Amino acid sequence: MNNIHKTAIIEDGAILGENITVGAYTIIGKDVKIGDGTVIDSHTVIAGKTTIGKNNHIFSHASIGTIPQDLKFNGEDVELIIGDNNKIREYTLFNPGTSGGGSVTRIGNNNLFMGYVHVAHDCIIGNNCIFANGATLAGHVECDDFVVVGGLTPIHQFCKIGTQAMIGGASAIAQDIPPFCLAEGNKAVLRGLNLTGLRRRFENREDIDAIKQAYKELFESGKPLQAVAKDLVENSVNKYVKELANFVLTTKRGIPFERKLKSEDE
């Protein structure tokens, strides 16, 4: 049985599952689909062709599925897809895709979006991510699983953030951040590995040690980055090292790290 406040407006055509709560003065558009057990607090707008999975909690004053902030958008058939068990806090803004970017913005499961987070058109977000207050994802940004983005951090269009990367607050991301890495600064550069995240997720200490060694070879040895990455892909037996090295080989915006300068004796 659904619990829908009498002041909520649900347009004809909207599809709601079971055990859904809709708060006061919330507006749900005609092309919206919402899965079982989802809670939508007061004064929220859910518009456009938006599909929301099960057991999400969308807090007050969120704006979900309104048209992309892209001057090229001309009313095309685009959509926003949100998975299960996400927490979407107050004053968040999620936009659907555009025809130039695949027409879909896609968000996975078990993510936390704190207050004022913006997810722009054509973003792809994995599972178990945390975006702190005021994090801003421009169009076409990709975030893999277990990513953490600090507060007030913008991410430039088309950047990719690898699995379990962590980005410090008030940073500015203009290039791709590899898996397992820690980045910080304006403009952000790599500061090492997200060791706290690795220790929480990986029980096998050998995996962490292998990633540490790969990081040193890639970003601290002074050797050509692409050559080192290729060697790791071809010769490493550790799947996480291969993931890190493959990310480096396929980056489109480059990796922001401080290159070691060779001394005169080298």
**What residues act catalytically?**
121-122, 139
b (16+ CB within 10 A) / e for 167-193:
bbeebebbbbbbbbbbbbeeebbbbeb
Dist CA 6 CA 220 (whole Å): 61
Classify residue 6 as exposed, middle or buried by CB count within 10 Å of its CB (0-12, 13-18, 19+): exposed
